[in-house]
Amino acid sequence: MRGDLIQLGSEACPYGLEDARQSYQHAIKVSPDYSEAWDSLGHFYDAVLDDEATARAHFAEAERLRACVRSRRASLC
């Protein structure tokens, strides 16, 4: 994901951490069922912004989406 590349980029990278956060949010907006984007945004909130409560909410949504995929029952999603 673009946000991962931004975070892992060198200091010469023209994009900052806010750009990384926005790219995760954009991925979720475009594909709300993309659990990896929810996970990545959760890690961002936890590691970069030190916001554990918001991170937990994103991790919970990622897990809920993975459970939907595992169950293959759209009515749970």
CATH number assigned to the domain comprising residue 60 = 1.25.40
pLDDT at 49: 96
Do 37 and 24 meet the contact criterion of CB atoms below 8 Å apart?
yes
Do 23 and 3 meet the contact criterion of CB atoms below 8 Å apart?
yes
The pLDDT tens digits of the residues spanning 22-44 come to 999 999 999 999 999 999 999 99
Residue indicated by tokens 């954009």: 26
- Taking residues 7-32, report their average pLDDT: 92
In terms of residue numbers, what domain contains 26? 2-76
pLDDT at 51: 98
Tell me the two tokens of residue 71: 């169950």
Q: Where are the alpha helices (DSSP H) in the chain?
A: 2-8, 17-30, 35-43, 52-71
Name which residue leads in pLDDT, 31 or 70: 31
Tally of domains within the chain: 1
Amino acid at position 56, single letter: R
pLDDT at 32: 96
Please give the mean pLDDT across all residues of the chain.
Answer: 91
